[in-house]
Amino acid sequence: MKENQYDYIIVGAGSAGCVLANRLTEDSENRVLLLETGGSDKSIFIQMPTALSIPMNTKKYAWQFETEPEPYLDNRRMHCPRGKVLGGSSSINGMVYVRGHARDFDEWQSEGADGWNYRNVLPYFKKAETWAFGGDAYRGNSGPLGVNNGNNMRNPLYTAFIRAGVDAGYLETDDYNGARQEGFGAMHMTVKNGRRWSTANAYLRPAMARPNLTVVTHALVHKVLLEGKTATGVRYEQGGQVHEAKAAKEVILSAGSIGSPHLLQLSGIGKREVLEQAGIEVKHELPGVGENLQDHLEFYFQFRCQKPVSLNGKLDWWNKLKIGVRWILRKDGLGATNHFESCGFIRSKAGVEWPDLQYHFLPAAMRYDGREAFDGDGFQLHIGHNKPKSRGFVHVQSADPKQAPRIRFNYLEHEADREGFRDCVRLTREIINQPAMDEYRGAEIQPGVDVQSDEQIDAFVRQAVESAYHPSCSCKMGTDALAVVDPETRVRGIQNLRVVDSSIFPTIPNGNLNAPTIMVAERAADLIRGREPLQPSDAPVFMDDQWQARQRPGQAKRSLA
């Protein structure tokens, strides 16, 4: 058994781990080991944005987790891929850049994550990014993460969708990551110079030139090593050999919302009944480990398109070849975008304070994994209820680190979540039937016009919804009985051990999770290094001043609060 000495050991080279590896090695005195189970991310299928469906569905690049039968989804088992490659899930995701609403982070503060409200986290969002259209009170202009709008909505369907939202009485927002999330507008993506801008590209590659960073790939971590209530290192396997690495300062788990709770449990940290049932000695009882699991669901609202402007005409092998060759030679064209170039964030009903429904608009009718393309021209909206009340779990099954944990989200267990998806169906139909879509809108393919009643919508949703691939909150940050880490990201009751990734979110934000995960790692890096946090922001945020009485603000008086 080989042993090595470092100051910090980071487990997982994903959206958070790459950020930490970069920021901690800015101090040349810190010796950092970064462990990743996967390997290189240099595949064209990872780097070319339009190929996003391939790495997500490839065992080489992603853990192909599957849930237990979900009892409220007709016992369907749901696909739960997680990145297993340098860059982690930022190397296999859809590259959509959404921070979440300001109130999402104020909600974290109210849940006991002191210091993580919007005023405090906005500066870290800015620190992380370079926004293609320049910095301001909300956007950064000198960070590692390149963010833009792909092909700037050249397809006319993108702007037609935005106009339809305005026709329906919603607002148009010029930057949903800025002062106003609520409304319809251009969508942002983590793409730079036509290439996927994962945290491996943005953060890790520059850091790998530093002599104080060691990156070990194809390394499966077995457990965190403990001496009493102090983390001293990790045990991992590489190439059939078992190694131990020691951390003089801290071990940091950044293995994601499935991997991090699983590793804690493998190490004897978690709920007593879960550990004992798996035959694992309880080293530290912490009942919240693996609990509070949350995710976003979505379904595809599909329509025929009356004009030959959709991407369905580009899905044959010849056009795919031309798109790929152009991207290889020039890094532009349809190969350089994820195709989600317009979007919407709305509130499902009056009395909802901030948006809880999200639209990704796609000028094609196809599955997220690229299969089952619709015959003929079409377009679709990915729509989901983004503030679920249902909660699930991640539970270790045995002491064997190679055995996947039990995963169950309990999707749609809560009636409020089912109501949210009924709203998704009815509000979407209203939006797409606005005049702006008249020249494009054809027949409704899915759900189908016969799906009208609550019962019919519920049945459709149970069969049609898919994960949006946003597992989170399974090692929640806070101070209550289920909190796993404190507001400093330290595991409660264990010295020298932290968790820094999307598992520590107290609640899931209204949006995709890559951006807030990167923000969490940026802020955590300052906490770990003992640096003064960035100056809080006083930038105002739009809130509809009549949210309690109306579902959409229309063109009425707008307020900044």
Q: Is 180 helix (H, G, I), strand (E, B) or coil?
A: coil
Using only the alpha carbons of the chain, give its radius of gyration. Answer: 23
Looking at the DSSP assignment, which residues form a beta bridge with residue 116? none
Residue the block writes with tokens 């089952």:
372
Give the residue from 351, 345, 342, 341 showing the smallest Cα distance to 180: 345
C-beta neighbour count of 8 within 10 angstroms: 25
26 is in an annotated binding site: yes
Helix (H) or strand (E) holding 419: helix 415-432
Task: Report whether 396 belongs to an annotated binding site.
Answer: no
Sequence-separated (6 or more) residues with CB below 8 Å from residue 59: none
CA of 318: how far to CAs of 153, 294, 315, 374, 540, in Å? Answer: 24, 41, 8, 17, 49
Q: CA–CA separation, 449 vs 484, rounded Å?
A: 46
Asked whether residue 221 is marked as a ligand-binding residue, the answer is: yes
What does the alpha-carbon distance between residue 490 and residue 487 come to, in Å, rounded to a whole number?
Answer: 7
Element (H, E) at 305: strand 297-305
35 is in an annotated binding site: yes
> Residue 453, Cβ neighbours under 10 Å: how many?
10
Minimal CA–CA distance to 487: which of 118, 226, 231, 111?
111
518 is in an annotated binding site: no
Instruction: Check the annotation: does 17 bind a ligand.
Output: yes
- Residue 24, annotated ligand binder? yes
Is 29 one of the annotated binding-site residues?
yes
Other beta carbons within 10 Å of 442? 15
Q: Is 306 exposed, middle or buried (0-12, 13-18, 19+ CB in 10 A)?
A: middle
3-state DSSP assignment of residue 491:
strand
Does residue 16 have a known ligand-binding role? yes
Whether residue 34 is annotated as binding a ligand: the answer is: yes
Phi, psi of 380 (to 5 degrees): -150, 160
**Residue 519 known to bind ligand:** no
Q: Is 461 within any annotated ligand binding site?
A: no
Q: Are 461 and 418 in contact (CB under 8 A)?
A: yes
- Determine if residue 95 is labeled as part of a ligand binding site: yes
296 in catalytic set: no
- 18 marked ligand binding residue: yes
- The enclosing H or E element of 393 equals strand 393-395
Whether residue 94 is annotated as binding a ligand: the answer is yes
State yes or no: 182 annotated in a binding site.
no
Distance CA 227, CA 495 (A): 10
State phi, psi for 327 to the nearest 5 degrees. Answer: -65, -40
Longest Cα–Cα distance in the chain? 69
**What distance in Å separates the CA atoms of residue 268 and residue 274, rounded to the nearest whole number?**
10
10 carries a ligand binding annotation: yes
Does the annotation list 96 as a binding residue? yes
Q: Is the dihedral of CA 537, 539, 542, 546 positive or negative?
A: positive
23 is in an annotated binding site: yes
511 among the known binding-site residues?
Answer: no
Is residue 7 a known part of a binding site? yes
Flag whether 11 is marked binding.
Answer: yes
- Give the torsion through C-alpha atoms of 97, 100, 105, 110, to 10 deg: -140
Of the candidates 101, 296, 385, 470, the residue annotated as catalytic is 470
Q: Give me the active site residues, please.
A: 470
**Binding site as annotated, residues for FAD:** 7-36, 85, 93-96, 221
**Binding site as annotated, residues:** 7-36, 85, 93-96, 221
